[in-house]
Amino acid sequence: MMLLTCPWCGPRNSTEFRFGGESHPRPRPDAATPEEWRDYLYFATNPRGWSRETWYHGSGCRRYFAIERHTETNEHRAIDERRAAEARR
Partner 1 sequence: MTQEQIALAGTGAMRLGRQEGEVIDRRRTITFRWNGKQQLAHPGDTIASALAAAGERVFSRSFKYHRPRGILTADHLDPGCQLQVGDEPNVRAAHRLVEADMDVRSQNTWPSLRFDVKAANGLVGRFLSAGFYYKTFIKPERLWPVYEKVLRQFVHAGSISPDTAHDYYDKRYAHPDVLVAGGGPAGMSAALAAARAGATVLLVDEQGALGGRLRWGGPAELHELHRLTAEIAAEPGIEVLTDSVVGGRFDDNWVAVVQRNLPNVVERLVKVRAKSFVVAPGLIERPYVFEGNDLPGVMLSTAARRLINLYAVKPGERAVVLTANPEGDGAVADLQRAGVDVAAVVDARHGTTVTRARGRSGVQSVELSDGRRIDADLLVTAVGWTAPTSLLNMSGDKPVYDPRSARFRPDPARLPDTVLATGRIVGDGSFSEIAAHGAAIGREAARRAAGIRARWQTQVPTRTPGEPVAEVPAKPVEIPDLTPAAHPELFRGHTHGFVDFSEDVSSKDLFTAVAEGYDSVELVKRYTTVTMGPGQGKLETVNAVAVVAEATGRTIAETGTTTWRPMYAPVTLGALAGRIFEPVRHSPMQAWHERQGAVPLVAGQWIRPEHYGDPAAEVRTVRNAVGIIDVTPIGKLDLRGPDVPELLNLLYVNKWNNLGVGRVRYGVMCAEDGVVLDDGVTGRLGEQHYLMSTTSSGAGTVWEWVENWLQTEHPDWQVHVTPVTTAYASINVAGPRSRELVGRLAEGVDLSPEAFGYMNVRTGTVAGVPDCVLWRIGFTGELSYEIHVPAAFGLHVWEALMSAGADLGVAPFGIEAQRILRLEKGHFIVGQDTDGLTQAYTAGLGSLVKLDKQDFIGKPELTWQAERGGYPLLVGLQPIDGRIVPAEASQIIAGGRIVGRITSSRMSPTLGRSICLGQVEAGLAKPGAVVTVRLIDGRNIPAAVTPQLAHVDPEGERQRV
Residues that bind partner 1 (CB under 8 A): 1-3, 5, 7-11, 13, 18, 20, 23, 26, 29-30, 32, 34, 37, 40-41, 54, 56, 58, 62-64, 66, 74, 81-82, 85
Give me the least distance between CB of 47 and partner 1, in Å please: 19
The entry of Zn ion, partner 1, none near residue 71 (CB within 5 to 8 angstroms by kind) is none
Residue with Cβ nearer Zn ion (57 or 69)? 57
Within 8 A by CB and 6+ apart from 45, the residues are 22, 51
Triad 11, 78, 46: Cα angle to 5° = 100
Triad 27, 35, 49: Cα angle to 5° = 70
Measured distance CA(72)–CA(57) in Å, rounded: 22
The entry of partner 1, Zn ion, none near residue 50 (CB within 5 to 8 angstroms by kind) is none
